[in-house]
Structure 1
Amino acid sequence: MLRKIRCSQLSAIYTNFSTKVEIDATLRDNFERKEFKPRSHPGRSQVKVASIPPDILKAIKIILQDSDAKSFQDESVKLNNYIHSRLLPPEEDEIRVKAAKIHQNVSNKVYSKIDKGLSQEEIENVNTKINTTVFNVLKKNVYRWGNISYDKPTSLQYLMARAAPEYAILVRIFDEIKRRIPDYKPRSFFDFGSGVGTGTWAVNTYWKDSIFEYFTVDTSTHMNDLARLILCQGRDNVEMPFKAYFQRQFLPASTDLKYNIVLSAFTLFEMPSMKTRLETIQKLWNKTEDFLIIVEHGSNAGFRIVNEAREFVLNSKRNKRGYAFAPCPNDNVCPRYLEQQTPCNFLMKYETLGLHKTEVVADLFTYVILRKGVRPSDDPQWPRIVRAPIVKSGHTICRLCTSQGELKEIIFSKGKYDQTTYRCARSSNWGDLLPVK
């Protein structure tokens, strides 16, 4: 569910209403020759509504039918709601600070009511009661985090609830790479926390003919079995269509093998602390030759995970040089994180599995694509539209994250802007790059 934001909050976040921009000069001739049209300018995502590929969808329906999926329907909805509402596991330091504060308040309250001297035994009894009270209050005020155990029923529930939105989100993210580097042909793909295999389906949407090796890791054997079964058309007696497709339960210890694209999608919530999350990010960064992609739910907690991974990779002195490929047009500290108002997230529409009827719904996600190497000198670093544009009669308001690491709100009107710039802004959506300088 989208959080409502007050206009006063937005005004406080975005600045420089009078900033003037214009279409990137390198594209001006392309627009004049009509090689580009504003409705399909090079900053626009081509994925509007995504649906699972027909062969994958057919396999899923066979599996769910064989497993009596109807009995899992209610539980799959509960699982989906729980996943969306999860918070990060509390850190030990946070718990200690909270416990000390509660202890101080409880002690002050208890001892303020005692108007006589106490024996040593009485003091010990009072302190025992205080500690018991503190423990009970702390239990109610500390989030009870726990990782999800994916047995066979839970894996099937996850398939029903999460396969469609996760595939759609990953297709949207891979489209960013394909659109900006059309000649890119990855040879290998590593999926950490691969689940039911949505990463493999999505990467094959663009690079099935070029990828030679798939390596997937998931701690759940049931998830691994389900992912393999889906690729085998939902049948046990069908041969795996990919020769170099490997599944493991844990990250391999070897650091020699590297992969062109490394993905961690909707996985880091299962880590018990920031320390283990960052240790995992380091291992994944070491595994990639080109891209490391981190994706999480578009909540505040999900954004915190993505942002800490981004900051860790970009600022760690022991890491090989890298830069933010997307969605950030810069490597500065995220301005959204500094403002702490709303997460940097995006909206993706998708078609449901259609077990009863097919619907088009949407899901929020947050992500970062990190690329090894130095940002190319010809990278235009166009600003990213980070909220849905407000389209009015005669003008459009775009909220942008810029190459300077600032949030700006720009009003594109017919009177102040040329037709190409105006129409590009008016045709753009939340999450698109706007090809202006």
Structure 2
Amino acid sequence: MQICPSSQHSIYTFLISLYEAACLKQAGSEEDLPWGLLGKGSVIEPGLMKSLETRVAAEGQAKSHLQKLFRMMGKGIEVATNSAKSSKKLPLPQFRWCGPSAPGARRPLASGAGRPGGARAANPFRFRPTAATVAATMAASSLRPRPGTWWAPWGGGNGLAAWARALATPTPLASQGDSLSEILGKEPHRRHPGILQLPHTRLPLALAAAAQQLVQESSAPNMEKQVQTLTSYLWSRKLPVEPGELRQRAAQLEERLRQRMGPASGSARAEEKLQGAVLSALRQVTYHWKELSYDEGLSLVYMAARLDGTFAATSRAFHEIQKRLPDFKPRTLLDFGSGTGSVSWAAHSTWGQSLREYLCVDRSAAMLALAERLLKGGSDSGESRIPAVFFRQFLPVSPKVQFDVVVAAFSLSELPSLAARSEVVSTLWRKTGRFLVLVESGTKAGHQLIMAARDLVLQGQEKSPLDPRPGHVFAPCPHDLACPRLSASRILPCIFSQTYYPTPFGWQYHGHGEEKFSLVILSRDPPPGSQRWPRLTQPVLKRPRHVHCHLCCPNGQLEHMVFTARRHGRDLYRCARASAWGDLLPVTTAPPPPKDPPR
């Protein structure tokens, strides 16, 4: 008799989950269970039996596999009902119904399960295979016990857990890199040092009031529709095609058309017709990238569309630097492609007491004028809400001028070519004294821009003689290796999310907004060794008594780990359950822990 390998994992994993859900909630640990009760005539509640049938149907497994499983386990399981009617057959013939007074049915008793000498409690799911059943199962499924595994007889030991673990496919394991009890101290698990997610962000009151005033004073028609159109366009925007790639596509299309049209006559008219067909086909398969010219009207629409999202994304990046390095107090900041100046507002909200100079660089004079009006409360004259903010249309020329924090938020996508982006990134890195923060939209194009800039800095192609210190990744990657997302069979962008309260500009908003972005924080100094913890790259999937976490690990690999309190400890399990997308998890990948010693 053979058990289908594809059905082993789902069925046995479910049995373990059901066993733990029913039994372990009444006892402190596996050793505390009343093993003496797990004999012939144990009781299963009908609700759990229904859950078993529903789960098997949802898994899509053939019912015959489950029948073989329980046939090998024997007839040591009964299902108890609240009525004393005669026995009733289930769809699975290995079970039988019996009333409370039927032979073999056990009566639920009071609390005290799991303690020697205590009263026996109702354990809704209690069964244990005999030694003969274990041997038959191992032989039927071509499995062998692990070395050192002790198979207990029917009445005692931890045979069920060892039997189930031998049949179930093991999941990736993890172990704590540091003592979590020492790291946490008196802090609760929901505040472990890897928690980096901000609550809902909100614009400062002065900035929100100034933006609302500018929108109300504007005479632009259909402002809401223009905002929605610009938002959709910016989100769907792709990278411009490089000239070399464009020429290669044109050559391939020309070759295909020549083969389709047959031998050319060589006349000028035929060649002109061929070139026209190539251009027409090239327009259909090539993304038409267009440079945006921000005049006064488009700048105001951009402010209404992107002010909240840019503030939320940059606040999240600054919060991570402040949380991990609380002693870092920057004094100067450079914002390349400053736009409406939301980066300066976010930096002031984070390090307002230490920053002494803000330099905002943008080539659009209308955008700089709008950012200055926002600083002055929406008017052309007045006192600036943030002191020492300077506006320029060009970067400082002197190579000796450096800034503690350099930011380029949603600016690289406005450059027309790879050469222009590389030149700008190299210049910004030479201007960086401590941190370079790059933020782009949470799309494939945005992630591609971020990764290209990251590789350019890490490869050290541009080493300034005035500052030869190499670059290191501070966040979000826990390593300086190649991004594992780009080498996966299915390339997905590495993005993160930050929620915010949208500013009401006169049209209807529903709930809160969510900004999805891709970012990298590059540092002149290597991050502390204790900070090289895995990063949660997807939302945490919380299930009863276990948590699914998708991690980017310090070894440059992506891991899917399942944490439970029994296998990984209470502290690590609760830290994983309290973590969110984008947080760090204080754990390191390690070999599987030693097996449970026999009693």
C-alpha change, 1:69 and 1:429, in structure 2 (3 Å) is farther
Residue pair 2:197, 2:580 contacting (<8 A) in 1 also: no
Q: Does 1:81 align with 2:232?
A: yes
CA distance in 2, matches of 1:432, 1:17: 26
1:134-156 alpha-carbon deviations (Å, 9 max, x no partner): 11111121111111111111111
Following superposition of structure 1 onto structure 2, how do residues 332-343 of structure 1 map, counting pairs within 5 Å? 332-339=481-488, 341-343=491-493
Question: Secondary structure at 1:178's aligned position in 2?
Answer: helix
Which deviates more from structure 2 when the two are superposed, residues 223-232 or residues 127-136?
Answer: 127-136
Looking at structure 1, the residues matched to 382 and 558 of structure 2 have their Cα atoms a distance apart, in angstroms, of 52
Query: Which of the residues 392, 397, 412 maps onto 2:543?
Result: 392
Structure 2 distance, partners of 1:46, 1:335, is: 23
| Number of the residue aligned with 2:584 | 433
Shift of 1:132: 1.3
The count of corresponding residues between Structure 1 and Structure 2 is 412
- Please tell me the residue identity of whatever aligns with 1:165: G
Equivalent residue for 2:287, pick from 143, 146, 161 = 143
2:308, 2:502 within 8 Å by CA — same for their partners in 1? Answer: yes
Contact 2:348-2:386 at 8 Å conserved across structures = no
Q: Distance in 1 between matches of 2:291 and 2:170?
A: 45
Q: What is the correspondence of 1:82-121 to structure 2 with a 5 Å cutoff?
A: 82-111=233-262, 120-121=266-267
Map of 1:9-88 to 2, 5 A cutoff? 18-31=171-184, 33-34=185-186, 36-68=187-219, 71-88=222-239
CA distance in 2, matches of 1:423, 1:119: 77
Q: 2:522 is matched with which residue: 370, 389, 394?
A: 370
- Give 1:168's aligned residue: 312
Q: Residues 23 and 120 of structure 1: is their aligned pair in 2 closer, same or farther, counting only changes over 3 Å?
A: closer
Task: Tell me if structure 2 keeps the 8 A contact 1:17–1:409.
Answer: no
* 1:56 Cα offset (Å): 1.1
TM-score for both structures, normalised by structure 2: 0.67
- Pairwise mapping of residues 225-244 of structure 1 onto structure 2 (< 5 A)? 225-244=369-388
**Distance apart, 1:30 and its partner CA:** 3.5
- Equivalent residue letter for 2:234: I
Q: State whether residues 536 and 585 of structure 2, in contact with CA within 8 Å, keep that contact through their aligned partners in structure 1.
A: yes
**Are the equivalent residues in 1 in contact too, given 2:501–2:512 (CA < 8 A)?**
yes
Q: 1:258 to 1:106 in 2, by over 3 A?
A: same
* Structure 2 letter corresponding to 1:239: E
Change (3 A) 1:61 1:400: same
Structure 1 residues 19 and 129: CA distance shift in structure 2, 3 A: same
Q: How far off its partner does 1:24 sit? A: 3.5
1:119 and 1:396 map into 2 onto residues whose CA distance is 70
The Cα shift of 1:92 comes to: 1.1
**Deviation readout 1:271-322 (Å, 9 max, x if unpaired):** 1111100100000001110000100001000000000000000002443301
Which of 542, 546, 560 pairs up with 1:409? 560
Equivalent AA in structure 2 for residue 251 of structure 1: L
Q: Counterpart of 2:436?
A: 292
CA distance in 1, matches of 2:584, 2:204: 27
Query: 1:219 and 1:392, CA in 2 relative to 1: closer, same or farther beyond 3 A?
Result: same
In structure 2, C-alpha distance between the alignment counterparts of 1:70 and 1:43, rounded to whole Å: 47
- TM-fit CA distance, 1:261: 0.2
Instruction: Please tell me the residue identity of whatever aligns with 1:109.
Output: R
Alpha-carbon distance in structure 1 between the residues aligned to 2:308 and 2:534:
29
Residue 338 of structure 1 aligns to a residue whose secondary structure is coil
User: Secondary structure at 2:438's aligned position in 1?
Assistant: strand
Q: Is the Cα contact below 8 Å between 1:147 and 1:269 reproduced in 2?
A: no
Structure 1: gaps of 5 or more residues: 1-15
SS at match of 1:332: coil
Do the aligned partners of 2:212 and 2:504 also contact (CA within 8 Å) in 1?
Answer: no
Cα distance change on mapping 1:74 and 1:240 into 2, 3 Å:
same
Name the structure 1 match of 2:45.
none
Q: Which stretch of structure 1 is more off in the superposition, 246-255 or 178-187?
A: 246-255
Partner residue, 1:350: 500
Flag the structure with more relative contact order, 1 or 2, with Cα contacts below 8 A and sequence separation at least 6: 1
CA deviation vs aligned residue, 1:370-404 (integer Å, no higher than 9, x gap): 0013444x343000000111111121100000101
Shift in alpha-carbon separation, 1:357–1:22, aligned structure 2, 3 A: farther
Q: Which structure has more strand as a fraction of its residues?
A: 1
1:117-128 correspondence to structure 2 within 5 Å: 120-121=266-267, 124-128=268-272
Structure 2 residue aligned with 1:382, among 517, 529, 533?
533
Q: What residue identity is the alignment partner of 2:552?
A: C
CA-to-aligned-CA distance 1:158-199 (integer Å, 9 cap, x gap):
111110111011111111000000111000000000000110
Name which one, 1 or 2, has greater alpha-carbon Rg: 2
Opposite residue 227 of structure 2, the aligned amino acid is S
TM-score by length of 1: 0.90
Indicate if the aligned counterparts of 1:17 and 1:411 stay in contact, CA closer than 8 A: no
The code of the aligned residue for 1:354 comes to: P
Q: Structure 1 residue 243: deviation in Å?
A: 4.3
Q: Secondary structure at the match of 1:293?
A: strand
Deviations 1:409-437 (A, max 9, x none): 00112332211111111111111111112
| Alpha-carbon distance in 1 for matches of 2:562, 2:522 | 31
Cα distance in 2 between the residues matched to 1:330 and 1:243: 37
Describe the SS at the equivalent of 1:409.
strand
Distance apart, 1:60 and its partner CA: 1.1
SS in 1 for 2:567: coil
Contact 2:180-2:572 at 8 Å conserved across structures: no
- Matched AA of 1:267: S
AA at the equivalent of 1:432: D
Contact 2:196 2:320 in 1 (8 A): yes
After TM superposition, give the deviation of residue 26 of structure 1 in Å: 4.5
Identical positions, percent: 35
Displacement after TM superposition at 1:17 (Å): 7.1
200 and 69 in structure 1: CA distance in 2 versus 1, 3 angstrom threshold: farther
Give the corresponding residue for 1:325: 474
Q: Which runs of 5+ in 2 are unaligned?
A: 1-168, 589-599
- The separation in 1 between residues aligned to 2:266 and 2:285, in whole angstroms, is 31
Question: 1:184 is matched with which residue?
Answer: 328
Q: Is the 8 A contact 2:312 2:500 kept in 1?
A: yes
Aligned-CA RMSD value = 1.8
Shift of 1:73: 1.4
What is the aligned partner in structure 2 of residue 222 from structure 1?
Answer: 366
